[in-house]
Chain A
Amino acid sequence: MKLIIATIKPFKLEEVREALTEAGVRGMMVTEIKGFGSQSGHTEIYRGAEYAVNFVPKVKIEIVVPEAAVDQIVETITKTAQTGKIGDGKIFVLNVDQAVRVRTGETNEDAL
């Protein structure tokens, strides 16, 4: 099992959710986050004074999938969340040791 962590532009969330559902993903965790990458924030003007917004709002999606599905899911997210402009986000893939469905006690891939 793998954990896919994807940070994307907030306005892309709905599109990504739809694409992932179509690709067979049956659950995900979503968090509103702030952060910076190569975009390095941006500037705003308030009452005539320019100021830097160092942390840009992003949405973090976390999905645990069977190893076989990883490539397809990562590709789906990349394709859907892409605008080609700076700040599109990043995807990380990590190993997962164990998974348990609380209701039934099923474990690992059965629990996904």
Chain B
Amino acid sequence: MTNFKTLATAAALLTMPSLAFAQDAAPGFDEIGPYIMTTLLFCMAGFLVFFMAAGFAMLEGGLVRSKNVTMQMTKNIALFSIAAIMYWLVGFNTMYPGDFNGFFAIGGQTVLDAVGVAAADAALDYASVGSDFFFQLVFVAATASIVSGAVAERIKLWPFLIFVVVLTGFMYPISGSWQWGGGWLSEAGFSDFAGSTVVHSVGGWAALAGVIVLGPRLGKYSKDGKIHPMPGSNLALATLGTFILWLGWFGFNGGSQLAMGTVGDVSDVSRIFANTNMAAAAGAVTALILTQVVYKKPDLTMVLNGALAGLVSITAEPLAPTLFGALWIGAVGGIIVVFTVPLLDKFKIDDVVGAIPVHLFAGIWGTIAVIFYNSDANLMTQLTGIVAYGVFTFVASLIVWFILKAVMGIRVSEEDEINGLDVSELGMEAYPEFAKG
């Protein structure tokens, strides 16, 4: 019965458009279709990118030791929630201020479309405010997650969360406005499709500053220059997290097409999915082979990082490359990870989950790699963007970390660090029934 009714209504509607148009000038599908499709793209892609928060949580939870897992989970759910609130309060309109000087404009709160908005009042050439806001806010949360992994196992909870407030409310939106808000870098011709630099390198720079101010974990580097690895507590969770991030990345890159109203746009979205997948696969295989050759045994944690580095590498230009292009761009990302993870250790920079090699170094590579397949991009402008984001984010982050260190301290005591943050900071263990190992 219901089906019959639906069919009847549909049939009636099919015969109506010209009539309806004549009567109340309601726009036809040609006019509202792109708006509907693009809004749908933002919602679906937004869900996928949202799930990356779970991916980061599982990856980080698996790569820290079991005594710090509750803390890592607490940081991840708190940072996502803080990012969501800060992006509404000030972030979204700071990042997309409309007409502005191209460098800096603090925006106000985000206001959604009216309930049941009329076609005439909607942004028919784009998408609904709600979908756009939601899609953009899950990106900023990803940036904060990057920092969380690098500074794990020794940072205090509240200073970290205060840093997240500044990062998601101000630093990321201000620098983001330079490119995606139509600011000076976008005018200069900088090209960063889904954010190898705008999102990933920014997270990487903020993480690098944090790790430097914080110092390495106790016992990670001994005085005689030896490195003492601290193997992760659950590589099954780390692998699950990587697969979730990989899935989420289809939304990250695919949604960044920012349009799905034409045959060209929707085909481009699918083209991006295929390229994104290829880059991840190439990064993983490269790390698998390289660790076998260099260290005589494959290192799963490096293979996971390799897949993610492949994804970051293709993020700046997931559309233009051929599948072979995506393959070699992703493979270079895998190479970068295998060689820069030990390099950071040489400099006594203790990045627990490999966030800096994956998001910063592969992000820089991906931003440069744009020039190979996108003829509109040139090396100098790409480098300008990389340096601008690097200087701004690194310096601003250093300042915030130093202020936090001076005002409230950012690191737990030696005893608390050895006992684990779960017990000392939270009084709650992730695995209370396990014996102490």
A residues at B contact (CB < 8 Å): 45-51
Chain A residues, Cβ within 8 Å of B227: 49-51
Answer whether residue B231 sits at the interface, using C-beta atoms and an 8 A cutoff.
Answer: yes
Q: Is the CB of A47 within 8 A of B228?
A: no
List which B296-346 residues lie within 8 A (CB) of chain A.
296-297, 299, 301-302, 338, 341-342, 345
Q: How many residues of B contact A (CB 8 A)?
A: 16
Q: Is the CB of B228 within 8 A of A48?
A: no
Answer whether residue B295 sits at the interface, using C-beta atoms and an 8 A cutoff.
Answer: yes
Chain A residues, Cβ within 8 Å of B229: 46-47, 49, 51
Answer whether residue B354 sits at the interface, using C-beta atoms and an 8 A cutoff.
Answer: yes
Output the nearest chain A residue to B227 by Cβ-Cβ distance: A49
Chain A residues, Cβ within 8 Å of B297: 45
Apart from A45-B297, A47-B341, A49-B345: 12 A-B pairs, beta carbons within 8 A:
A46-B301, A47-B302, A47-B342, A48-B294, A48-B299, A48-B302, A48-B338, A48-B341, A48-B342, A49-B228, A50-B227, A51-B228
Complex: how many Å from CA A48 to CA B301? 10
Complex: how many Å from CA A45 to CA B227? 11
Q: Is the CB of B295 within 8 A of A45?
A: yes
Output the nearest chain A residue to B297 by Cβ-Cβ distance: A45
B309 CB to closest chain A CB, in angstroms? Answer: 13
Most buried by A among B229, B296, B297, B354: B229
Complex: how many Å from CA A49 to CA B294? 11
Complex: how many Å from CA A49 to CA B346? 10
Most buried by A among B294, B296, B297, B342: B342
Contact digits for B215-252, partner A, Cβ 8 Å, 1 yes 0 no: 00000000000011101000000000000000000000
Complex: how many Å from CA A65 to CA B307? 57
A97 CB to closest chain B CB, in angstroms? Answer: 31
6 residue pairs, one from A and one from B, having the closest CB atoms: A48-B342, A46-B229, A49-B227, A45-B295, A51-B229, A49-B229
Subset of 5 A-B contacts with CB under 8 Å: A48-B295, A48-B302, A49-B228, A50-B227, A51-B227
Complex: how many Å from CA A47 to CA B357? 12
Chain B residues, Cβ within 8 Å of A49: 227-229, 342, 345
A33 CB to closest chain B CB, in angstroms? Answer: 13
List which B325-374 residues lie within 8 A (CB) of chain A.
338, 341-342, 345, 354
Complex: how many Å from CA A45 to CA B342? 11
Chain A residues, Cβ within 8 Å of B302: 47-48
Output the nearest chain A residue to B338 by Cβ-Cβ distance: A48
Complex: how many Å from CA A112 to CA B299? 48
Complex: how many Å from CA A49 to CA B347? 13
Complex: how many Å from CA A112 to CA B35? 83
